[in-house]
Chain A
Amino acid sequence: MSSRIVALASIGRKTLPNQFDLIALALIFAGFIALVHGSRGMVLPLQAPQSSVTLDYANLPYYALRTTLRMFAAILCSLVFTFTYATWGAKSRRAERFLIPILDVLQSVPILGFLSFTVTFFLGLFPGSTFGAECAAIFAIFTSQAWNMAFSFYQSLRNVPRELNEVSNSLLLSPWQRFWQLETPYAMPGLIWNTMMSMSGGWFFVVASEAISVGDTTVNLPGIGSYLALAIDRKRIDAVFAAILAMLLVIIAYDQLLFRPLVTFSSRFRVESSAGEYEQRSWVIQLFRRTYLLRAIIAVPTRLFQSMALWRLELPFHAEFSEEANRWKERILDFLWIGTGLLAAAFAVGLVYRYVSANLSFSEFGLTIWLTFLTMLRVMALIALASLIWVPIGVLIGLNARLAETIQPLAQFLAAFPANVVFPIAVVMILRFSLNPDIWLSFLIIFGTQWYILFNVVGGASAFPNDLREVAAGFRIRGLDWWLEVVLPGIFPYYVTGALTASGGSWNAAIVAEYVKWGNDTVKAHGIGAYIATATAAGDYPKIVLGVAIMSVFVILFNRLLWRPLSRLAERRVRLD
């Protein structure tokens, strides 16, 4: 079932963080710090490009287009990244040692917190031009999409069935041909599913990254996000609704024109040999198959791609068998490679330490830990709450095939809808009824991510074997027993997938959801998200680094100590197929 690919893609064998995770973590943060250092040296103060976003409804279609284009630019970057980074990691044993832990950590870093860094960097790179700001936004979206795509691709490359590999060897395919004829097609279903999930998640980041204030610098790129920011600034609730409507239409178009056709298309690359399973239908694919003109249009690029996939592109030295590997030489190279990695990591730790300690006191450190703890409680409580609500509903929907068929796509659609677009409405309510932000803002964290739980549970329940249901009915297993002994274990793997995705998204959402504005009114909850957002607004870089670093460590531990053991349990114990 397609919905399972996403979680399994991110699960390794190890549970506790090991030395490579620490190295990866240090390298990533040092990289960010170096980025800011470097760019601040270039130009100070930052010059933001001037733009003229207006609240005129007539401009919304244009803004929607700009937002969508940004999204596509980012997904293109993510694909390029996936094809290079993941391939390198899968092909080189040495590179794998560092690349994969780095990817794993990047997956857990709440990238939204680093928005300020990247904005600074890109604005510094292209002072005063819109291009820099566009790059920054695209980069932000890219960082929300690339990691799980690369992970899925890497894992597919590593799991190509042995016999297919042998076939391509005995057919004398060159490495290039093998990559395009075997490895990439094999990785397709996982990659397409992850790309689609990434895009779903990406809308949230597009909206968040179009209008950013770092200290005194404000960036406004024409797009729905900026439109919304302006609406919030001017307290125009009608404009907020217009933005919601525009976003809704964009997501519908994305869902119908891209998501469904591609997922349908990817079923062709599945290796399980039996036909059947449930086929996703798409009217767009039907249209393409039936319309001569459309077929003719795609025929040319298809032909080009096919011939490109057949280039041999052999390296001049044609190694048939890798020459007798010299054990000692290999060991020394390994040693040097790891040594270099360790040195780089040590240097990185030093850099992070110096940067943070020069600017911050020890009490700040304690504060961030406490705040992250609060946010973690919030995330856990809300995942639990969402599960309590959506699991029973999802099961009941999933067991009814016809209902599931309509609800499942709807939930996927809702998961793609960027929740931050509706935040202002919540803020208005909180202000209006003077509610406690620590409690009521929390709901925003889960608002956009709860749907992952719903659609995965629906998927799990519809895949629940009929004979098991009949056995349960035959033994008159009912009520609580039925839930605890029959259905819940059956949908457990699906639930874990959904909850894992939801929790990852929630951590990121916390950065935007704990600190929200309506005109001049600011509503803040106590949590690391608000801490990072405040620091961003003030342009206080050391605090941002500290906040995001502590948050990342929490997220990594949270994933390793809770979600991975649960996923492994789901894999081993309660698999139904």
Chain B
Amino acid sequence: MLDTALKPLLEVRNVCQSYVTGSGDVGALVLDHVSLSLKDGEIVGMLGRSGSGKSSLLRIISGLAKPIDGEVTFRGQLVRGPFEEIAMIFQSAALFPWLSVLANVELGLRAKKVPRREARARAVRAIDLIGLDGFESAFPKELSGGMRQRVGFARALVVNPEILLMDEPFSALDVLTAETLRTDLLDLWVEGRMPIKSILMVTHNIEEAVLMCNRILVLASNPGRISAEIQVNLPHPRNRLTAEFRQLVDRIYALMTRRTEPAQPSGPFPGLGLGMGLPKVSTNLLAGLMETIAAPPYRGRADMPALAEHYQMEIDDLFPVAETLQLLRFAEIEEGDIKLTAAGSRFAEGDVDVRKRLFGDHLRTYVPLAARVRMVLDERPSHVARAARFLEELEDYMSEDYAEQTLKSVIDWGRYGELFAYDETSETFSLENPT
């Protein structure tokens, strides 16, 4: 008994994964020698921001993707592809719209040649378990987001997996629906009514992780690696308002915003110099966050969990904004707090012209790509440059999608800071704004 409890169900050893760049070569690392194990009877959460490779890791564990290095074993057996004992739950539920609820749940069994009658009985049981009875003949488009995700759960449970992998299963739902679904799932888990032995979930919601997990792995970004492991020993059902709960949340915030080590001079975003990938953050959000931090009650320094709660933002919404401010030296992030710099305060107090000038200056100084676009435009007698040329340069460093997003961010920020103009139709940068 003791033996089986100690022996891990699933083991991940030194797994590495990398981006594929636009030219099809192996690019920067997404996962850097990640190791973890999953034991019987625990819910493990992987907490990280976008870019920490948590979804990639989940896909490697499920056998959907292949790592470039390292291995995954289930009960000592090497994972070489998707297999029956692991079921996956997707962010968007990913139901087949042309199949009814029942048919969606049955599909996995029928594909394995489980006899018709048995498949039907098992599917009906799973549907009942997850609280969907009465909806068997409904089609996904008739259901609300929460109901659809329930179908996703039933579909995963019906094959009697030992491990359930969940990829941000609640993040596409509204707050109330997500909470109901979380507690329902926890009830099933605590009461032992599911055949599942262990759950591994990816999330970017710190409270969700603390609410549900026995163990939380914090992933650092660029490249993704496990930077901390936290045991959560609170008994279920957990109360979000207790002091212990709040303390844990604060501690994880602090862990996730720890000053980047000197080994990472590039700051929060992957890549160096021109190859720095930029997040999609609107200038409105940047300005709004600076104003909020400057105003009371924060007066220049804000606790990030409080900010997040106040604005109902999850870390994936809040962190990129905060980190962009850090990149532009408008703010500093430290131990779960965000503090405006002198320039940040000036921005918050200034009028539109001051803000634009300040933003443009900082953009040019601290974002190499923006500086480069501007330099090329200045050097050319025509003051015109095609976007494709920068995009191709970026694709040497990162995937096509990421390159596109990075360029879009620079276009957006550059327009706001009036560093340059951009014409969408001809896809060219220029120095002239329409008069």
Contact = CB atoms under 8 A, between A and B. Distances in A.
Interface of A: 161, 163-164, 166-167, 169-174, 177, 181-182, 185, 188, 268-275, 310, 312, 320-321, 569, 572-573
Contacts of A181: 96, 107, 111
Contacts of B83: 172
A9 B114 CA distance: 38
A171 B97 contact: no
Across chains A and B, which 4 residue pairs bring their CB atoms closest together, nearest first? Answer: A320-B81, A163-B94, A171-B108, A185-B98
Interface string B67-89: 00000000000001111101110
A269 B64 contact: no
A180 B424 CA distance: 40
Contacts of A271: 97
Interface in B45-69: 59, 62-64, 66
B110 to A, nearest CB: 5
Contacts, number: 79
B108 A269 contact: no
Most buried by B among A167, A174, A181: A167
A161 B92 CA distance: 11
Contacts of B82: 169-170, 172
A268 B111 CA distance: 22
Interface string B225-238: 00000000000000
A174 B155 CA distance: 18
B108 A573 contact: no
Contacts of B380: none
Given A170-B64, A172-B84, A310-B110, A269 B97 contact: yes
Query: Size band of the B side of the interface?
Result: 35 or more
A330 to B, nearest CB: 11
Contacts of B148: 273
Contacts of B80: 320-321
Contacts of B66: 321
Contacts of B141: 270, 272-275
Contact of A572 (B107, B155, B424): B424
A310 B109 CA distance: 10
Interface string B98-134: 1000000001101111000000000000000000000
Contacts of A272: 141
B425 A573 contact: yes
Given A269-B97, A269-B98, A273-B140, A573 B424 contact: yes
Contacts of A164: 94, 96
Contact of B107 (A169, A171, A174): A171
A177 B159 CA distance: 17
B90 interface: yes
Interface in B414-429: 424-425
Interface in B374-396: none
Contacts of A273: 97, 140-141, 148
Contacts of A170: 62-64, 82, 86-88
Contacts of B142: 275
Contacts of B97: 268-271, 273
B68 to A, nearest CB: 11
Given A164-B94, A569-B425, 9 more contacts: A169-B64, A170-B87, A172-B111, A181-B111, A268-B139, A269-B97, A273-B97, A320-B80, A321-B66
